[in-house]
Amino acid sequence: MMNIKFLLYTALGIILGSCAGKTADQESAGQMPTQENVAKLTPRQIRNAGIALDFPKVRQVSSVLRLNGRIDVPPQNMVSISAPLGGYLKSTNLLPGMHVQKGQVLAVLEDQQYIQLQQDYLAGSARIKYLRTEYERQKSLNSSKSVSDKTYQQAEADFLAQQVAVGALAEKLLLAGINPNHVSADRISRSVNIYSPISGYVSRVNVNIGKYLAPTEVLFDLINPSDIHLALKVFEKDLDNIRKGQQVLAFTNSRPERKLACEVILVSKDLSPERTAEVHCHFQKYEHDLLPGTFMNAELALESRNATVLPDDAIVSFDGKEYIFIPEKDGFTLTAVQTGHSENGVTEILSPVNLRDTRCVTKGAYSLLMFLKNRPDQ
């Protein structure tokens, strides 16, 4: 469609140029030479080109700041599950995207070290009873000077050392996920359960049944979506336009039609070496496919302001620059402009020259450009 439009404008420009050539022969020889940025048309050519003039308007416009960033989760809301003592994975039914509740069993591990740990704890607990009795007996004998202080002190040291050993074994059991109060001679288990410390969603599953897991390996990654947010990169020059509470629409490259509503909650004051700062936004509704690290695009509507605008048809592009035509006494002058935000068929004019009281070509600007660039002398 754009190619057809361009061809029509080109053809119209050539026709106007040929008409101008004929007119030039008929007009007086004293006419001033045509400047390269001034298009001179006869009244008939102006009518045929459909040229219309109007003054720029002052309207309220709201600019849109286009940003990009990634999905981020605060450290306290992203949990990596591991087995502190290691072991073989006996069972799990987790899949990425599944919802889990706090306290839910995520996996079952088994290993002979769990049996040994419970055995050591029970044996240590039994021995501590004997050492306590022996300590109390030596204490009583020492008070009547029936035994030496050395014998009493040795009994006391043995008892206290065993207390420390049993206490340490109890903590190891808790670390492995075994309640020491539930361990007895007829309740020794070779397996332990891994429980979820939070309610949330499974983001990654890194294991399979039968795999031996070292204490440093991560079994699962869980996310608490209550505080998942969008971290956007904003250049230094745009930071003054961003405020807490502003609304943001975010979308992925794969699904640009799905706009996710967010709100700015924090504007960082720390600039990176690239002169950018992070702006953190909360999603109004969490989507389960938004994983940490997902690349996102975003549009942030800035505050409305008064701006000088012209219709989109009044602005033409040539050689990477934008221009408008201003009517002068001897024709239409091609004038370079800087443009800003465009919306609802109008474009903001940012040129330093005040155009509010200047009539501009609002229709037929492309016809003038084609006429100007297709003249025989160009």
Report the predicted TM-score, pTM, of the whole model to 2 decimal places: 0.54
212 shares a domain with 80: yes
**pLDDT over 50 at 10, yes or no:** no
108 shares a domain with 197: yes
Does residue 239 lie within any of the structural domains? Answer: no
190 shares a domain with 94: yes
Model confidence at 161, in pLDDT bands (50, 70, 90)? very high
**pLDDT over 70 at 224, yes or no:** yes
Q: Indicate the residue among 191, 222, 253 that finishes a domain.
A: 222
Over range 24-39, report the average pLDDT. 48
183 shares a domain with 150: yes
Q: Which amino acid is at 34?
A: T
Secondary structure of residue 18 in the 3-state scheme: helix
Domain holding 9, by residue range, is 2-62+306-373
42 shares a domain with 12: yes
Does residue 368 lie within any of the structural domains? Answer: yes
Inter-helix orientation angle 365-373/2-26, to 10°: 60
Q: What is the CATH number of the domain that holds 325?
A: 2.40.420.20
Does residue 269 lie within any of the structural domains? Answer: no
What local confidence, expressed as pLDDT, does residue 172 receive? 92
Model confidence at 23, in pLDDT bands (50, 70, 90)? very low
95 shares a domain with 46: no
Q: What is the CATH number of the domain that holds 145?
A: 2.40.50.100
Does residue 231 lie within any of the structural domains? Answer: no
What local confidence, expressed as pLDDT, does residue 150 receive? 86
Q: Quote the CA–CA distance of 276 and 356 in Å, as a whole number.
A: 36
The residue that leads in pLDDT, 33 or 212, is 212
118 shares a domain with 28: no
Q: Indicate the residue among 222, 255, 285 that finishes a domain.
A: 222
347 shares a domain with 313: yes
| Residue at token pair 């020794």 | 188
Over range 154-182, report the average pLDDT. 91
94 shares a domain with 218: yes
Q: Quote the CA–CA distance of 221 and 319 in Å, as a whole number.
A: 53
**pLDDT over 90 at 108, yes or no:** yes
Lowest model confidence (mean pLDDT) among 48-57, 143-152, 320-329:
143-152
**pLDDT over 70 at 11, yes or no:** no
What local confidence, expressed as pLDDT, does residue 102 receive? 94
**pLDDT over 90 at 374, yes or no:** no
Model confidence at 28, in pLDDT bands (50, 70, 90)? very low
Say if residues 83 and 194 touch (Cβ distance below 8 Å).
yes
Q: How far apart, in Å, are the Cα atoms of 265 and each of 192, 209, 247, 299, 376?
A: 42, 42, 10, 15, 60
What local confidence, expressed as pLDDT, does residue 303 receive? 72
**pLDDT over 80 at 7, yes or no:** no
pLDDT tens digits for range 258-312: 999 999 999 988 888 988 999 999 998 878 777 788 899 999 887 777 888 999 9
131 shares a domain with 90: yes
Does residue 243 lie within any of the structural domains? Answer: no
**pLDDT over 70 at 153, yes or no:** yes
Model confidence at 230, in pLDDT bands (50, 70, 90)? very high
Does residue 283 lie within any of the structural domains? Answer: no
What local confidence, expressed as pLDDT, does residue 20 receive? 43
Say if residues 288 and 305 touch (Cβ distance below 8 Å).
no
156 shares a domain with 47: no
Lowest model confidence (mean pLDDT) among 8-22, 216-230, 314-328:
8-22
Say if residues 32 and 330 touch (Cβ distance below 8 Å).
yes
Does residue 244 lie within any of the structural domains? Answer: no
101 shares a domain with 55: no
Q: Indicate the residue among 166, 196, 222 that finishes a domain.
A: 222
- How many domains does the chain fold into? 2
Model confidence at 376, in pLDDT bands (50, 70, 90)? low
Does residue 196 lie within any of the structural domains? Answer: yes
